[in-house]
């Protein structure tokens, strides 16, 4: 079992309410990602679940039992930090350290270390020291140290932040595959919405300590609850338009994702000038300055003949327009 329930959980530092009040249910076996901008409270919330911070109010229930006052070691959880925190003088086999501290017998330790190493493709590296490993291998060792404990849930606090772009992609896949193999609850913190979209069963979007929306990646992309979620989820981010075009659709603000705009050099709804084009190979992003809607971004597949300085016309897909009221709430 690995269910986690937060009931009116809050955290106050001095006069600052970092987490005003949060209710959240995480089901056994789910991969849940906390995502939001820096300072939104996502790491603090993870530390509250882990027991590394005391709650100021509310209750934390793990596997049906009140864990609010329990020490971290009593919660049945394992945490993987941004820092690998590996002992430089000890080999990879040191992933057994938590078991040794718990007094587990040697035969059981050897079995669990062997199993973890096999799952993480570390079998051939068990005698190596951290300095002999790549960044991705070091992160796998840190995860292995958590796996041997066989926790009811894994907590990840921005574990890929220290890796380069290519390694981040590889580790994203490896952690997702690990979740499929272990079928254990995972709670993962990141500021990178691409990580959230590609890894999560369920995303929790946080802003200033509050939950803006909870849902599957597709749900948040297709049906954002408000302007904050609409602007945070999706890359490039959604275009927002106010004024007469929004009013004509009975909205204060309308939103259109870059991939839901078509661009033409001959005709369209909004006229503009191509300002900057970004060629990414599989995609091209075209930034267009318009009089009626300001700077809009268009995403097209592959190469395009449109160049900076040229006159273009944009047309939104009417079925993909998002409408928001004056309070920024989706209509």
- Read off the pLDDT of residues 116-144 as tens digits, 9 standing for 90 and up: 888 888 888 899 988 898 888 888 888 88
Q: How confident is the model at residue 201 (pLDDT cuts 50, 70, 90)?
A: very high
Q: How confident is the model at residue 168 (pLDDT cuts 50, 70, 90)?
A: confident
Q: What is the pLDDT of residue 322?
A: 98
Q: What pTM did the predictor assign?
A: 0.90
Taking the C-alpha atoms of residue 191 and residue 206, their distance in angstroms, rounded to an integer, is 10
Q: What is the pLDDT of residue 308?
A: 87
Does residue 6 have a pLDDT over 80?
Answer: yes
Does residue 222 have a pLDDT over 90?
Answer: yes
Q: What is the pLDDT of residue 113?
A: 86
Q: What is the pLDDT of residue 142?
A: 84
What percent of the chain has a predicted confidence (pLDDT) above 90?
65
Q: What is the pLDDT of residue 49?
A: 98
Highest mean pLDDT among 70-84, 241-255, 301-315: 241-255
Q: DSSP label at 226?
A: B
The fold for domain 4-231 equals Rossmann fold (3.40.50)
The 3-class SS string of 294-316 reads EEEEEEEECCCCCCCCCEEEEEE
Cα 222 to Cα 61, 252, 263: the distances in Å are 31, 19, 21
For residues 131 and 216, the model is more confident at 216
Taking the C-alpha atoms of residue 307 and residue 284, their distance in angstroms, rounded to an integer, is 11
Q: Residue 81, class by beta-carbon neighbours within 10 Å (0-12 exposed, 13-18 middle, 19+ buried)?
A: middle
> Hey, which residues does 148 pair with through a beta bridge?
none
Mean pLDDT lowest for which of 110-119, 208-217, 239-248, 281-290?
Answer: 110-119
Taking the C-alpha atoms of residue 139 and residue 125, their distance in angstroms, rounded to an integer, is 13
Taking the C-alpha atoms of residue 331 and residue 317, their distance in angstroms, rounded to an integer, is 17
Q: What is the pLDDT of residue 296?
A: 97
- Could you state, in order of their start, the residue ranges of all structural domains in the chain? 4-231, 237-324
Stretch 139-150: mean pLDDT, rounded? 85
Q: What is the pLDDT of residue 239?
A: 97
Taking the C-alpha atoms of residue 118 and residue 124, their distance in angstroms, rounded to an integer, is 9
Residue from 23, 5, 1, 32 nearest 186 by CA? 32
Q: How confident is the model at residue 82 (pLDDT cuts 50, 70, 90)?
A: confident
Residue 55 DSSP SS3: coil
Backbone phi, then psi, for 282, in 5-degree steps?
-70, -25
> Hey, which residues does 329 pair with through a beta bridge?
226
Does residue 77 have a pLDDT over 80?
Answer: yes
Mean pLDDT lowest for which of 164-178, 186-200, 204-218, 271-285?
Answer: 164-178
Q: What is the pLDDT of residue 303?
A: 83
The matching CATH number, chosen from 2.40.50.140, 3.90.420.10, 3.40.309.10, 3.40.50.1820, for 237-324 is 2.40.50.140
Q: DSSP label at 136?
A: H
Average pLDDT of the residues of the chain: 92
Stretch 106-118: mean pLDDT, rounded? 86
Does residue 85 have a pLDDT over 70?
Answer: no
Q: Please, where are the H alpha helices in the chain?
A: 42-50, 97-101, 106-119, 135-147, 165-182, 193-199, 217-222, 227-232, 244-247
Stretch 241-257: mean pLDDT, rounded? 94
Taking the C-alpha atoms of residue 220 and residue 155, their distance in angstroms, rounded to an integer, is 22
Q: How confident is the model at residue 1 (pLDDT cuts 50, 70, 90)?
A: low
Q: How confident is the model at residue 316 (pLDDT cuts 50, 70, 90)?
A: very high
């Amino acid at each position: 079992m690995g269910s986690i329930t937060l009931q009116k959980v809050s955290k106050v530092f001095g006069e600052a309410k970092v987490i005003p009040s949060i209710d959240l249910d995480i089901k056994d076996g789910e991969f849940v990602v906390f995502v939001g901008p820096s300072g939104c409270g996502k790491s603090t919330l993870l530390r509250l679940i882990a027991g590394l911070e005391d709650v100021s109010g509310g209750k934390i229930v793990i596997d049906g039992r009140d864990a609010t006052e329990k020490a971290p070691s009593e919660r049945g959880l394992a945490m993987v930090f941004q820092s690998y925190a590996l002992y430089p003088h000890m080999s990879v086999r040191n992933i057994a350290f938590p078991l040794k501290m718990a007094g587990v017998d040697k035969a059981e330790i050897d079995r669990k270390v062997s199993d973890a190493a096999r799952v993480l493709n570390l079998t051939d590296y068990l005698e190596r020291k951290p300095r002999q490993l790549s960044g991705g291998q070091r992160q796998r060792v840190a995860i292995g140290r958590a796996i041997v404990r066989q926790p009811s849930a894994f907590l990840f606090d921005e574990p890929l932040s220290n890796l380069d772009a290519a390694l981040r992609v590889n580790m994203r896949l490896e952690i997702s595959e690990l979740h499929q193999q272990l079928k254990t609850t995972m709670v993962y913190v990141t500021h990178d919405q691409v990580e959230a979209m590609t890894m999560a069963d369920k995303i929790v979007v946080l802003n200033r300590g509050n939950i803006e929306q909870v849902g599957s990646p597709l749900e948040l992309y297709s049906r954002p609850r408000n302007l904050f979620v609409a602007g945070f989820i999706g890359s490039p981010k959604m275009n927002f338009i106010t004024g007469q075009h929004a009013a004509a659709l009975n909205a204060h603000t309308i939103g259109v994702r870059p991939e839901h705009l078509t661009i033409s050099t001959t005709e369209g709804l909004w006229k503009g000038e191509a300002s900057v084009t970004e060629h990414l190979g599989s995609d091209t992003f075209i930034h267009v300055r318009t009089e009626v809607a300001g700077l809009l971004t268009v995403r097209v597949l592959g190469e395009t003949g449109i160049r900076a300085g040229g006159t273009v016309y944009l047309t939104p897909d009417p079925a993909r327009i998002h409408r928001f009221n004056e309070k920024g709430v989706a209509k």
